[in-house]
A = this chain, B = another copy of it.
Amino acid sequence: MFSKATEYALRATIFIAQKGTEDNKIGIGEISKAIDSPPSFTAKILQALRKNNKIIRSVSGPNGGFYMTEKMRKLPVRAILEAMGENEMLDKCVLGLEKCSETKPCPMHSKYKIIKEQLIELFETKTIQHLADDIKNGAVFINNKSK
């Protein structure tokens, strides 16, 4: 569905929301280990989420790392997707037709549209905080390892 970069962005952000606070920041090493992603590549992604999109924060130096403010945690998942350039995906015709639209639909359009709207609704109503809380409540996971 999404690129690997976006998958890492989602996992990392959720992890930071769950564990990182201003006085307990999390390093890229811990993050990439926890979410099973390549550290340097993940770092790049987090840099962008910070600099361009203000979805997370970071500070350098000892005890530095990443964290999120209350406000940031309340952003919808969609904000991450948007930041990662996945807006096009959520907009796009299944058949890849540039010109597909309500007035000139492709043969999948009407049925696909209904499903896509649910997807968008989901990404817009679920906040990062919600997902982090679910993990804290213990019913749900974000790591990729067996145990």
Contacts and interface: CB of A to CB of B under 8 A. Distances in A.
A98 B144 CA distance: 6
Contacts of A135: 107
A: interface residue count bin: 35 or more
Contact of A111 (B89, B126, B139): B126
A144 B99 contact: yes
A145 interface: yes
Nearest to A139: B105
Given A1-B92, A111-B126, A119-B115, A141 B104 contact: yes
A106 B131 CA distance: 9
Nearest to A94: B1
B94 A107 contact: no
Contacts of A119: 115
A132 B108 CA distance: 11
Given A4-B96, A97-B143, A105-B140, 8 more contacts: A7-B96, A14-B95, A14-B107, A105-B139, A108-B126, A109-B140, A112-B122, A115-B115
9 contacts: A98-B144, A99-B143, A105-B139, A107-B131, A107-B132, A108-B122, A108-B126, A115-B115, A118-B118
